[in-house]
Amino acid sequence: MKGAGPSTKKLRTMRELASLVMEYYAECHRAKAEGRPVGWMPPMNGGIEVFYAMGLMPVFPENYSPVCAAFGAAPPHFETSEAMGFSRDLCGYMRDILGYVHGDMHGPLEPMGGLPEPDLIMSFGGGCIPAMKIFQHLERRFPHAKVFRADMPQVALDDIKEHHVAYAVSEMHRFIEFLERNTGRKLDEERLHEAVNLSDEACRLFDRIMSFRRNIPAPFGASEIGLMFVMVTRQGTRTAVDFLSRVLDEVACRAEARQGVVEEERLRLFWDNIPPWYDLGLLRYFEKAGGVVVAETYSSAWSIRLDTGDPIRALAVKSLMSYPLVSCVSIDRRRDMVLRACRDYAIDGAVFHSNKSCVPITLGQADIMKALERELGIPSVTIDGDHMDIRNFSLAQFQTRADAFMETLLERKGR
């Protein structure tokens, strides 16, 4: 970790994360070797629970990209995609994954041995343009994979009506029929019910874990955001529920003992936008001044409670809701979400990551910063960067701005 201050009190349970990540990717390779169908799909849609219920293996290119960034494997992928004509200004996930699949997919520098090639591709027609484009390109790159193109209506959260849900339910049925036809496996309703129950339970645990960060001091900070990994890759499994249960137990104990991240929590911070996956230690930089990032926009998007009484409908609703939660939210709604989080988590200052390669989440930050100052008197700072591409980030500039911001906040608090 390049940008951090002094060492902090990390969660003990988070030491399990590395083995969870390795085990997930090992299972992806095992599935391929055993002839268990592997399907590539975008994260956060109802497909994952159906996959696990049918014994299929879901793979998430958008999850592999942060792994590549963390292992320093992304820059060669960017070179490949840029040589193909993709602009450096485009989404970092897109440039990474397209560079990866057009390079040596199983080369020695690829983390986790790379990804097994897809037998199935779920191309969900929703989300931001790069998310859709990734899958259009993957269809061309893997012409032998069977492709399901979901026709999911893209509707803002507040505008989702019963007829949208009814249509999404019909798409879920078409999806299941596609999987049954192309894999020769039947969906067992009981197993689907169980997967949906587990998925909902994981969301309940995740929400509970996050809510403990309202405590002063917060029992853990944003550099532990890696626990999202199970919310992306293991929804609908016992693995996610067991891990999150252990994290919750530890977090609850720390909260009860009033054990924080630093010796004295002097400033509570909010982080807007996707974190810099190549150096999550940057989120701990503020700790040298007693600042702890106690809430962020990105982590809240990975939990959607499900109506477990009607699994297919629940997964249809989840598929409708997932992208609008992150990238297709109006600026007004995002402003309201940030203001509410800053109130709920007793925030002293907000850090806005101006993310060069994610326009949907970066758009409107200046308006949100003004609203924070005007309505809650909370000051903000902008950090220029990129969630994937370290070439668009300057550590010196980050440190200068972060230091000045900490100083201002401490002065305002009279500490």
Which residues of the shown chain bind ligand SF4 in the complex (CB under 6 A)? 91, 93, 128, 130-131, 326-327, 358, 360-361
Facing residues of 352 across strands? 272, 382
Query: Residue 213: CB partners within 8 Å, gap ≥ 6?
Result: 219, 220, 294, 295, 345
236: left (phi over 0), alpha (psi -120 to 50) or beta: left
Please say whether the beta carbons of 333 and 369 come within 8 A.
no
In the chain, the amino acid numbered 88 is R
Report the 3 state secondary structure along 178-223. HHHHHHCCCCCHHHHHHHHHHHHHHHHHHHHHHHHHHCCCCCCCHH
CB nearer to ligand SF4: give 111 or 130.
130
CB nearer to ligand SF4: give 219 or 385.
385
Determine whether 405 is exposed, middle or buried from the number of CB atoms within 10 Å of its CB (0-12, 13-18, 19+): buried
CB nearer to ligand SF4: give 4 or 67.
67
Please say whether the beta carbons of 321 and 158 come within 8 A.
no
Q: How far is the CB of 388 from ligand SF4 (least distance, A)?
A: 8
CB nearer to ligand SF4: give 237 or 299.
299
346: left (phi over 0), alpha (psi -120 to 50) or beta: left
Closest CA to 52 of 331, 299, 241: 241
CB nearer to ligand SF4: give 124 or 285.
124
Facing residues of 268 across strands? 292
CB nearer to ligand SF4: give 21 or 69.
69
What burial letters (b/e) apply to 246-259, b meaning 16+ CB within 10 Å? bbbebbeebbeeee
Q: How far is the CB of 149 from ligand SF4 (least distance, A)?
A: 18
Q: Give the C-alpha separation, 127 to 145, whole Å.
A: 22
CB nearer to ligand SF4: give 63 or 215.
63
CB nearer to ligand SF4: give 127 or 217.
127
Q: How far is the CB of 25 from ligand SF4 (least distance, A)?
A: 21
